[in-house]
Amino acid sequence: MKAAKHMCYDRILPQDLVKVQRTRMIGGRERAISLIGKQWANGSTLRIRFLGGTQQQQDMVRQVAPMWTDHANLNFDFTDDPRAEIRVTFDENDGAWSYVGTDNASIPLHAATLNLGWLDQGVILHEFGHMIGLSHEHQNPDGGIMWNEQQVIDDLSGAPNFWDEATIRHNVLNKYSADQVHGTEFDPQSIMLYAFPDSWTTNMGATSENNDLSDQDKAFIASAVMYPGRGGADPNIVELDVMRGTEAEISSAGEEDLFSFKVKKDGMHIIETTGSTDVVMVLFGPDSKTAKVAENDDGGRGQNSRIVARLREGTYYAAIRHYNPNRTGEYRIMVSAS
Q: Where in the chain is the domain with CATH 3.40.390.10?
A: 8-221
What's domain 8-221's architecture? 3-Layer(aba) Sandwich (3.40)
pLDDT reading at 13 higher than 50: no
pLDDT for the residue 19: 29
pLDDT for the residue 226: 84
Percent of residues, the chain, with pLDDT higher than 90: 41
Cα distance between residue 30 and residue 142, in whole Å: 5
| pLDDT, greater one: 24 or 302 | 302
Mean pLDDT of 25-39: 46
pLDDT reading at 143 higher than 70: no
The segment with the largest mean pLDDT, out of 173-182, 208-217, 229-238, 258-267, is: 258-267
pLDDT reading at 66 higher than 90: yes
Q: Where in the chain is the domain with CATH 2.60.120.380?
A: 237-337
pLDDT reading at 217 higher than 50: yes
Determine the CATH number of domain 237-337: 2.60.120.380
| pLDDT 10s digits, 199-208 | 888 877 676 7
Name the pTM for this structure.
Answer: 0.64
Is 277 within 8 Å of 250 (Cβ atoms)? yes
pLDDT for the residue 61: 98
pLDDT reading at 26 higher than 50: no
| pLDDT 10s digits, 241-293 | 989 999 999 988 778 889 999 999 999 999 999 999 999 898 999 988 888 89
